[in-house]
Amino acid sequence: MSAFPGPRDDVDLAIVAGVFDARPGAEAALGAVLANYVVVSRRSPGCRNIDLVASLTTPGRFLVYEKWESADHQRDHLTSDVTEQLAGAALPLLAGPPDLGLFQAVSAHDLM
């Protein structure tokens, strides 16, 4: 018997990853905007978790990694006021468009 439980059949996670590069001089401001987004978004319906990390190899680069109960929850959040506010606050702080991706969970299932 494996020490790790397998994926739950009743959960079809939607994984979103976004890479955001700050324009020079806006690193702290972008980090603050993204941190606020993460804290507020974690209370959204269907949110399993959202993490924010800063690159150690590329100054001013941030990664937001989101896990949603379903694609429907993720889509609802994408069109929410929280996401619109993020876009409005982050846009002037970005060096270019964010690199956003939607992923299928392979081994991203929670252990509990």
pLDDT of residue 30 exceeding 70, the answer is yes
End-to-end CA distance of the chain: 17
Q: Would you state the pLDDT for residue 109?
A: 61
In terms of pLDDT, which residue wins out, 2 or 70?
70
Domain definitions of the chain by residue range: 28-104
pLDDT of residue 4 exceeding 80, the answer is no
For residue 36, give both structure tokens. Answer: 């606020």
At residue 70, φ and ψ (nearest 5 deg) are -160, 165
Express each pLDDT in 60-96 by its tens digit: 999 999 999 999 999 999 999 999 999 999 999 999 9
Helices (H), 1-112: 27-41, 71-78, 81-90
pLDDT of residue 11 exceeding 80, the answer is no
Q: Where does residue 63 rank: exposed (0-12), middle (13-18), buried (19+ CB within 10 A)?
A: middle
- Give the pLDDT band (50/70/90) at residue 28: very high
Chain mean pLDDT for the chain: 88
Q: Would you state the pLDDT for residue 7?
A: 44
Question: Which of helix, strand or coil describes residue 100?
Answer: strand
Q: Would you state the pLDDT for residue 2?
A: 36
- 28-104 has which CATH code? 3.30.70.100
At residue 66, φ and ψ (nearest 5 deg) are -120, 140
